[in-house]
Amino acid sequence: MLFQTTQAHEELRAKVRAFAEEAVKPIAFMLDQQNDFPAEAVKQMGEMGLMGLPYPKEYGGAGLDVISYAIAVEELSRVDGGTGVILSAHTSLGTWPIFAFGNEAQKKKYLVPLCKGEKLGAFGLTEPNAGSDAGGTETTAVLKGDHYVLNGGKIFITNAPKADTYVVFAVTTPDIGTRGISAFIVEKGWKGFEFGDHYDKMGIRSSSTAELIFNDVIVPKENLLGKEGEGFKIAMATLDGGRIGIASQALGIAQGAYEAAVDYAKERVQFGKPIGFQQAIGFKLADMATKLRCARLLVYSAADLKEAHVPYGMESAMAKQYASDIALEVTNDALQIFGGTGYLKGMDVERMYRDAKITTIYEGTNEIQRVVIASHIMGKPPK
């Protein structure tokens, strides 16, 4: 398909880029070093309308399209991948299922403050025994009168413990597989809902990631999202969109590393000329630029399909898999161009190289993306 961004998209890019350069870039190294969350920047993102970009104005959103959202994640990630995923996990994972499957009362109560950036959202699917095999969920929710009792736990949850609102998946009917899983909206602060330690991660250290622990948490019946048994489909549909966010994050990280490498290749002189004019480096830059262009087209076209309300699960898996694979290659090449200097702490390319790695792992490993793509190509196997 043909695809082009509009003037409005590019104006939004300029606005988010200016914000990222001014409010995030100067602190990115410190956030990484101190494993610190950019609370002030996230608050400002809310004030700028970035936390509800692709949602209708009637729910407190900005009423923009999915490409605008992808551009915002990309531009934040261009300076700091951690800040990029805070927006992505909030918008795609924490907010979208409430927008898509919530009833009017749930939207008024939860969606509006999420879109306005007054509350931060998160998504609780992964468990110790249910990672790639998300259908192996063991957390349980047992109906008792007017409420469910939630027990179990979730690991690797982006935005926890900072987030206020969690979309959590739990088994309501045991022994029937994925059709026995339901989705719930769970609030931070409820009795029995606690957090494990903040993980000490290799990269995206400005984003917070923690374990969720549920001990007899009382979840009112009205916080069931969708119908009982629809949870797995809600999770899968949410991840279809989430993967556009991670693809955008990977693209932004790679773009940031590429730009740093180009600048360095223009200024670093060896053998009597800037190294970018040495064919070995020039060819690397050419390959990096080509990969970035391919990734950007895949990401925006998946976003465009989502916006058009046509099937986009295969395309979002392709975008996520490709953009994250090339983010590893591009950040690696950028660091190689910097040589020993790039290997030093404090250099953006060193941080970006570490930040890129997670994009091939979370919201479905790239092996799972290939499972998804192949299943779209082949359909279900014969019985």
Taking the complex as a whole, the smallest distance from the CB of residue 210 to ligand CAA amounts, in Å, to 10
- Phi, psi (rounded to 5 degrees) for 146: -95, 15
* Residues of this chain, 120-149, that bind ligand CAA according to CB under 6 A: 123, 125-126, 132-135
- Strands 209-220 and 193-195, bridge-based pairing: antiparallel
**Alpha carbon separation from 44 to 24, 55, 265 (Å, rounded):** 11, 18, 34
Does 364 help bind ligand CAA (rule: CB under 6 A)?
yes
* Residues of this chain, 169-188, that bind ligand CAA according to CB under 6 A: 178-179
Positions marked catalytic: 363
CB atoms within 10 A of CB 20: 25
Burial of residue 169, with CB atoms counted within 10 A of its CB: 0-12 exposed, 13-18 middle, 19 or more buried: buried
Does 233 help bind ligand CAA (rule: CB under 6 A)?
yes
Taking the complex as a whole, the smallest distance from the CB of residue 209 to ligand CAA amounts, in Å, to 7
User: Of 65, 68, 235, whose CA–CA distance to 166 is shortest?
Assistant: 235
How many residues belong to the site for ligand CAA (CB under 6 A)?
Answer: 27
**Alpha carbon separation from 380 to 207, 233, 367 (Å, rounded):** 37, 16, 18
Applying CB under 6 A, among 46, 81, 313, 342 the residue interacting with ligand CAA is 313
Residue nearest to ligand CAA (CB): 364
Does 158 help bind ligand CAA (rule: CB under 6 A)?
yes
Sorted by sequence, the CB contacts under 8 Å of residue 156 that are 6+ apart come out as 126, 199, 209, 211, 362
Taking the complex as a whole, the smallest distance from the CB of residue 65 to ligand CAA amounts, in Å, to 21
Read off the tokens for 233: 């489909």
- 165/284 with CB nearer ligand CAA: 165
Applying CB under 6 A, among 12, 64, 76, 157 the residue interacting with ligand CAA is 157
* Residues of this chain, 93-112, that bind ligand CAA according to CB under 6 A: 93
- 333/363 with CB nearer ligand CAA: 363
Does 372 help bind ligand CAA (rule: CB under 6 A)?
yes
* Residues of this chain, 243-302, that bind ligand CAA according to CB under 6 A: none
Enumerate binding residues for ligand CAA (CB under 6 A).
89, 93, 123, 125-126, 132-135, 156-158, 178-179, 232-233, 236-237, 239-240, 313, 362-364, 368, 371-372
